[in-house]
Amino acid sequence: MKKRTVFLSFLILTLLTSLMMSGCMLPFLGNEPVVIVSDYKSTAIVGVLYNYQVEVDDDGKTELVFELVVAPEGMTIDRSTGLVSWTPTESQIGEHEVNIKVSDGWYKDNQEFSIEVSQIKLSSISVVPTTMSFTSANSNKSIESITAYYTDGSSKVLEKTDCSYVSSKTTVAIVSTVGVVTAKAKGNTTVTVSYTEEGITKSATITVNVTIPTAGGG
């Protein structure tokens, strides 16, 4: 038994020496563990390219290899750079699990997270101007612009005919279907501008001040 142990120890030592002399062990010597240090993006939008650059803390002594262990259909990762790319489809609305692995040949690290996929939705609208002042009866002013804002950070200028308008006091001022406000009598009113898209309605208001003289100069 003792001879066998000595022989095995000699064999292992010989093998390690051979590997070191050939350079096969050199990358391992002093090699530091690889660690994923980047923060992932937890949300994605249907039809919009999702990119996530995986960043690692590594000594650079060996080549890194990135891999998607768990991923939704259509998601890819560049095995050498760690760039994750994905364009979610409408059928993928909801939560998806992701597991990314990076390895340097000796050490590895994993990052597990979930991505919530949603549609682009209307989040708010704004109107210009936000106030209007009139000093004569039957004078009118047009709303200059109405802008819609979405959950992905995008926006678009709306057609005025696509919006609806309501004056809280039609005795003070009225508003047409194309956004023209007409003064009627002295007082204050609020014009509410509304826009509906995909079942979501958002509103913005204009404060209207009419200071025309009352009948008889009072």
pLDDT digits (tens, 9 = 90+) for 157-188: 999 999 999 999 999 999 999 999 999 999 99
Q: Are 92 and 117 in contact (CB under 8 A)?
A: yes
Q: Is residue 14 part of a domain?
A: no
Q: Where are the beta strands (DSSP E) in 71-210?
A: 76-77, 83-86, 94-103, 108-118, 122-128, 131-134, 140-142, 145-150, 155-157, 164-167, 173-175, 180-183, 187-197, 200-210
pTM, two decimals, is 0.57
Q: Is residue 8 part of a domain?
A: no
Report the alpha-carbon angle 153-157-162, nearest 5.
120
Same domain, 103 and 130: no
| Closest among 40, 76, 50 to 152, alpha carbons compared | 50
Same domain, 41 and 103: yes
Residue 115 above 90 pLDDT? yes
206/126 Cα distance (integer angstroms): 10
DSSP classification of residue 64: -
Peptide bond into 129 cis (omega under 30): yes
Residue 212 above 80 pLDDT? no
32/60 Cα distance (integer angstroms): 9
Same domain, 40 and 97: yes
Structural domain count, the chain: 2
Amino acid identity at 216: G
pLDDT in tens, 124-158: 999 999 999 999 999 999 999 999 999 888 999 99
Q: What percent of the chain has pLDDT over 70?
A: 83
Report the alpha-carbon angle 108-113-115, nearest 5.
140
- Domain span at 126: 122-217
Of 94, 118, 142, the position where a domain reaches its end is 118
Of 118, 143, 166, the position where a domain reaches its end is 118
Residue in the structure block whose two tokens are 């950070």: 153
Instruction: State whether residue 14 is helix, strand or coil.
Output: helix
Element (H, E) at 168: none
Residue 5 above 70 pLDDT? no
Same domain, 48 and 111: yes
User: What CATH number does the domain containing 196 carry?
Assistant: 2.60.40.1080
Instruction: State whether residue 11 is helix, strand or coil.
Output: helix
Residue in the structure block whose two tokens are 């010597």: 29
Q: Is residue 44 part of a domain?
A: yes
